[in-house]
Copies of this chain bind each other. A is one copy, B any other.
Amino acid sequence: MRKIIVQKFGGTSVADTDKIKNVADVVLREKQNGNDVVVVVSAMGHTTDHLVKMAKALSPNPSSREMDMLLSTGEGVSIALLAMAIQAKGYDAVSFNAMQVGIMTENIHSKARIINIKTEKLRKNLEEGKVIVVAGFQGVTEDGEITTLGRGGSDTSAVALAAALNAERCDIYTDVEGVYTTDPRIVPRASRLDIVSYEEMLELAHAGANVLHPRSVETAKQFNVPLRVRSSFKLDDMGTLIVGVDKMELHRPVAGVAADLTQARIVVCDVPDTPGVAARVFTNLANENISVDMIIQSYARKASNTNDIAFTIDKNDLPKTLAVLETLRQEINAGDIKVDDDTAKVSIIGAGMIDRPGIASTMFETLAKLNINIRMISTSEIKISCLVDKIDAQKALKALHTVFDLECDVVADVKGDLPDV
């Protein structure tokens, strides 16, 4: 049986007709390798921005149902054009939108999750030798309502299709050459990773290296779909393979380092040290859909019988968080609420660190030698994070990258928009 490869191309890869022709070549290269190919594409370049601008001109707060109707047209254009480009090169191709395939989602607009993908039509068309071009980012509900999948949606579409079709691999073509040990704009000698585990990739993504949206990596992990992040301009370069940790030979304790500038630190001072109070703080935040990352509770001060609770949140949630805390502060009779948003979370990530106890101390020593204050620490099985002052973030990142031996011999050739650190 022929193998199925799912390929995904983002908006910059299909930004104009010349780029679409290039994508057709990439697709046909895989087809010529003897594989069946399903291609997922996003809307062309700035289409989405243009559509959003028109919507905003008509309504300050357009309904999410109609926004989904509107935005889903973007992929409608790119799938048809790519199918035409493939046909023009002498191959059979057919485009389908999410409604035609049956990419079934929850009935939630603007951030629906895929429930199920119907594969009959896809399999029938693959058997007929066709290249199939599918609209990313969109789905449809049982009632025929059009939904969209939110940020990183096309990556998720591609991975979900690969899972549904039991594909050999899902190749995410992008304008970077793969996943790096850290942001090459900050550390020019960052190394491109040949292989990384889903878990490491998730931590790298959450820590700010947003080559892939975490949701797509989670889906790949859930269905064990091998993912490859690779450049649509350097076709002989296989990029970075992302697989289960069981498929990796771990010889490096740390896979990468990352800095995340999106978090703010909150300290609620003088919280009465009675059972259930801390739980109440985090329950109230959770009720407002505010994610809390690092948490530290100080030892209780005997004299006042109070303690301080410090935690980090996404800066975008700051107004909501302060509203929740102000109400709570009065109810529980706590002290001041302090906010520090000049912080950076610096993390080292590696599935191999679990068996090597010296990693954490190496990290702390490295920062100490540079006189960098560590304000908070959190650890997981594959990650150690330190909250530091924003001004120290770059220095910390560079030193950690060196000390964990992640440098390569050549300066990375970086294109495109990497995350702002």
Contact = CB atoms under 8 A, between A and B. Distances in A.
Interface of A: 17, 20-21, 51, 54-55, 57-60, 62-63, 65-67, 69-70, 72-73, 76-77, 79-81, 83-85, 87-88, 94-95, 97, 99-100, 121, 144-146
A63 B85 CA distance: 10
B84 A76 contact: no
A58 B99 contact: no
A80 B87 contact: no
A17 B54 CA distance: 7
A47 to B, nearest CB: 10
B54 A66 contact: no
A100 B66 contact: no
Nearest to A74: B73
The 3 closest A-B pairs by CB, nearest first: A70-B80, A73-B76, A59-B88
A58 B88 contact: yes
Contacts of A146: 100
A104 to B, nearest CB: 14
B58 A85 contact: yes
A90 to B, nearest CB: 11
A79 B81 CA distance: 22
A347 to B, nearest CB: 41
A281 B65 CA distance: 57
A65 B86 CA distance: 14
Given A17-B57, A55-B84, A57-B17, A73 B62 contact: no
B87 A66 contact: yes
A48 to B, nearest CB: 12
